[in-house]
Structure 1
Amino acid sequence: MATRLGCVGQSVRQIFKAPVINHVNIAQRRTAIYAESGAVLPKPDQIKFPLPKVLITVIPFLTTGAIVSKNGAAILEEMEIFVPEDDDD
């Protein structure tokens, strides 16, 4: 029974974990260059304008998170749950 469970656990790990070669996940790597007919496959699609897309996504959410954190700290300070002490004397 123990060996049978070990085999099941092993197969589950193999199913959910893609093999890694040279720190690159095989599932993310294109290995086919030629079609079955021998023709060269077209180049893979590349993301156009990656930096602006990242900035358009990150800046609003970072700003929203900062505003929520600032308002949350103000509410905690107002309710005297968290009051920073001035021990610099």
Structure 2
Amino acid sequence: MRIALDASHAEIIVTGRMTTHNQQGLHPVIDRVRTLAPATTVTVDLTEAHVEAGAAQRLRQRIDRGTGGAVHVLPPGETIRTGPR
């Protein structure tokens, strides 16, 4: 995982394998970014990850239940980039 943070945007880039179980590890990372920079838009980039069926959906459900700023999830196979790497 890599995190890129600027004044208006944070990008959490997930690499490796994401499963329905280990996606829980992203929750405190997203919460921490929201705490440090509440007005920041957070993008969770799964385009470089191998995502197990159902894992992205579980992550999205958890994000939708949370409070705070905007969080976008780029699914595997998405090619849109929000900023430099």
TM-score band by shorter chain is under 0.3
Which has the larger share of strand?
Answer: 2
Q: Please identify the structure whose Cα radius of gyration is greater.
A: 1
Which structure carries more relative contact order (alpha carbon 8 Å, separation 6+)? 2
| TM-score normalised to structure 2 length | 0.22
Which structure carries more helix by proportion? 1
